[in-house]
Structure 1
Amino acid sequence: MRGSSLCAVAALAFAVPLAVAAPVSAEQGETDHREARPYDAQRAAFADVASALARAAISRKRVILVMGANWCHDSRGLAGWFATPRFADMLERRYEIVYVDVGHPQEGEGRNIDIAQRFGIEEISGTPTVLILSPEGTLLNAETAPTWRNAASRTGDEIFDYFASFE
């Protein structure tokens, strides 16, 4: 029975398409990367998160939940960095990445906030809010998760080093 349960989890993990690091569309930014627009309000965010966690449990990778929106310059900027070859190579080896559209939580029009709450982040006060989860789903960066609202003004090296530091 245990073997069939693991197979069922594995099948679910690969059956649900995931919002990936590649941009849906991009525009040239004022830095040395492009902005990306990977946030999709129509996606089944809970299913995307469950799928990423199931894959992480098998692959032993960590999970990055980027809770942002396409209207947000910093959300687009971070996604743009993630789509560069340097980042994509490192991130693909270490992480499952999920982009979760949160709407406009600062204006009381948020969505998917319950996903952040599931991992101990009670509110989204700025976008993006970036959660790093262990393969078991434990939040690893509670103190720094809400600090990414200035992502577009951070250097590529600073961002790269932050995500590379989670072994």
Structure 2
Amino acid sequence: MTKLSALPLFALAAAALAAPLAAQAPAPRLSITSIDQLAQPLPYPYDEQADAKAAVAHAKAQAKREHKKLLIDLGGNWCGDCRVLAGILDLPELKPYLARHFVVVKVDIGRYDKNGDIAGRYGIAKLQGVPAILAVDPVHDTLLNNGRLFALTDARHMNPQALADWLAQWA
């Protein structure tokens, strides 16, 4: 192969590597810059009586059918960071974006004594904090954000835009 014929192959390989980055849908710009601007009171997002396994199975089937990613939000209503995350997810700029790219299911983990098997299904033996977000490819039922599940456990000290941008990595 000559140098001239290798050039188009190099360009093709570079384009293929860049494609996943170009395909990423950037998060919308949020109108708030601080969590202090979130509507009060913050939501209690987790249904403590829900059948979590059924909810996750339903959400996974929907995500597969709609060609979206699945976001499993593991947390508890007692958790301030979980409630802040819920408030940010409900922002008018972010909610439609999430609906376009994800099916979101919220799973109550109690006081780390409920629904641990849902995280276990994806290789997480023990939750290291909440909220824990599992970004899942519903077709292959694989975890997309392994090693970065607990990035939002300090949501109340995060910039809302940074949080939205973190979620956009999986869109």
**TM-score for the superposition, normalised by structure 1:** 0.77
Can you list the C-alpha shifts for 1:137-158, whole angstroms capped at 9, x where unaligned? 2100111102321012111110
Question: Does structure 2 conserve the Cα–Cα contact (< 8 Å) formed by 1:62 and 1:96?
Answer: yes
Using the TM superposition, give the Cα deviation of residue 165 of structure 1 relative to its aligned residue in structure 2, in angstroms.
2.2
**Residue 71 of structure 2 is aligned to residue 38 of structure 1:** no
- Aligned residue for 1:166? 170
**Residue 132 of structure 2 is aligned to residue 132 of structure 1:** no
Which runs of no fewer than 5 residues in structure 2 stay unpaired? 1-33
Query: 3-state SS of the aligned residue for 1:54?
Result: helix
Query: 3-state SS of the aligned residue for 1:43?
Result: coil
Question: Does structure 2 conserve the Cα–Cα contact (< 8 Å) formed by 1:77 and 1:151?
Answer: yes
Superposed structure 1 runs of 4+ greater than 2 Å apart: none
- Written as runs of structure 1 = structure 2, the 5 A alignment for 1:56-135 is 56-105=63-112, 110-135=113-138
Can you list the C-alpha shifts for 1:37-83, whole angstroms capped at 9, x where unaligned? 11112001000000011011111100111100000000000011001
Can you list the C-alpha shifts for 1:108-158, whole angstroms capped at 9, x where unaligned? xx1000000001111112111111001222100111102321012111110
Which structure features the higher share of strand residues? Answer: 1
Query: 3-state SS of the aligned residue for 1:103?
Result: coil
**Residue 58 of structure 2 is aligned to residue 51 of structure 1:** yes
Aligned CA-pair RMSD: 1.4
Which runs of no fewer than 5 residues in structure 1 stay unpaired? 1-28
Distance 1:165 1:115 in 2: 22
Structure with the larger RCO, 1 or 2 (CA within 8 Å, 6+ apart): 2
- Which amino acid in the other structure matches residue 94 of structure 1? H
Distance 2:157 2:137 in 1: 27
**TM-score for the superposition, normalised by structure 2:** 0.75
